[in-house]
Amino acid sequence: MPEMRRRLKKAALASILFAGALLAVAVTGEAQQPGKMVRIGFLDPSTPSGMAVLVEAFRQELSKLGWIEGKNISIEYRFAEQKTQRLPELAADLVRLKVDVILTRATTATLAAKRATTTIPIVMAATADPVGAGLVASLARPGVNVTGLSSLVPGLNTKCLEILKDAVPKITRVGLVWLPGTSLGQDLQLRELRPAAAALKLKLEEIEAQADAKSLERAFQTAKQNQVDGIMTTAGPAIFAERRRIVELASKYRLPAIYPQDEFVEAGGLMSYGADYDDFYRRAAVYVDKILKGAKSADLPVQQAMKCEFVINLKTAKQISLTIPPEVLARATRLIK
């Protein structure tokens, strides 16, 4: 009988140990399961096709930081399709989805996101003047749920005008194509360009257009009728999304043009001078990474553009029979041949 009791005790102990081992395996397996899927909201006033190159820069940088779309993050894309009045509705939709962070482009989108939530962190990929727009208390200490990158570069538009005059020495009249109501940052650009044109003894022809093929065509016809010698555009997501059509029209009407981003030149535009927006979106991904790892947006300083690039497309210059002076070519950061 004692022997039988000892055997039963051993069997019971073995069962307990086996059960404990199974529990340990289960707990270990559970601990090794990936964490919850993180949701990133993406709010933009323009179009998916127009923004594809910058979205890809953002996704690539996130991937380098260990955030893989479909694996440990999902991105909820919301594009207003050039209808800025839709931004509040789209921002509210992202808030309803309880995304973990919202990425925005342009003042209009950032304002819409901020009005929709005071708790979800918002990262600006490129907003012209976040302090002036009341988005943050200061660049050094935002103090709210908004942080990220400011695309405001003092004197940038004046510099573009100067480059255009240097590249086309006989220029006297410049057509400025802009899309009213699509970007609050355009007002800043206009306020800078008007006195800059006067100082350079250039006549600035402000040509309003809408973000559609017919309106842009009319804008360039107007420019030609007004005998402008060159073209500029304001910066902003609506203009950026239509960059291929705009550079095609500049080529069609044989007008030398300078643009605010190098993507215009890569699409066939003549020249660009401005901040590197790919860099903005890569740096925005770093901000998103920090926030997802516990950083507070209120404590992350707003950064500004770190570099400006001057790019010239020599093929386009040849197509419109423009000879760019050697001293201007020498100043280029990059030449497309």
Question: Which domains does the chain carry?
Answer: 38-152+277-304 (3.40.50.2300), 156-276+308-336 (3.40.50.2300)
The pair of three-digit structure tokens given for residue 258, joined into one six-digit string: 């300078």
What is residue 303's predicted lDDT score, i.e. its pLDDT?
96
Measure the CA–CA gap between 107 and 128, rounded to whole angstroms: 7
Which residues on neighbouring strands pair with residue 275, listed in sequence order?
308
Measure the CA–CA gap between 321 and 315, rounded to whole angstroms: 10
What is residue 254's predicted lDDT score, i.e. its pLDDT?
96
Which amino acid is located at 193 in the chain? L
Q: Which of 180, 212, 243 is nearest to 49 (CA)?
A: 243
Measure the CA–CA gap between 137 and 230, rounded to whole angstroms: 39
What is residue 280's predicted lDDT score, i.e. its pLDDT?
96
DSSP structure string for 237-299? HHHHHTHHHHHHHHHHTT--EEESSHHHHHTT-SEEEEE-HHHHHHHHHHHHHHHHTT--GGG
The pair of three-digit structure tokens given for residue 93, joined into one six-digit string: 């939709």
Cα 151 → chain centroid: 9
Degrees, nearest 5: CA angle 326-327-328: 90
Degrees, nearest 5: CA angle 310-312-313: 150
Q: Which of 254, 248, 262 is nearest to 309 (CA)?
A: 262
Order of strands across the sheet that contains 308-313: 203-208, 173-178, 230-233, 257-259, 271-275, 308-313, 334-336
Burial call 248-260: b when 16+ CB within 10 Å, e when fewer = bbbbebebbbbbb
Strands (E), the chain: 38-44, 73-79, 101-105, 122-127, 146-150, 173-178, 203-208, 230-233, 257-259, 271-275, 303-304, 308-313, 334-336
Which residues on neighbouring strands pair with residue 148, listed in sequence order?
124
Give pLDDT tens digits along the chain (337 positions). 444 444 444 444 444 334 443 333 333 333 323 467 999 999 999 999 999 999 999 999 999 999 999 999 999 999 999 999 999 999 999 999 999 999 999 999 999 999 999 999 999 999 988 998 999 999 999 999 999 999 888 789 999 999 999 999 999 999 999 988 766 667 778 889 999 999 999 999 999 999 899 999 999 999 999 999 999 998 888 899 999 999 999 999 999 999 999 999 999 999 999 999 999 999 999 999 999 999 999 999 999 988 899 999 999 999 999 999 999 999 999 999 9
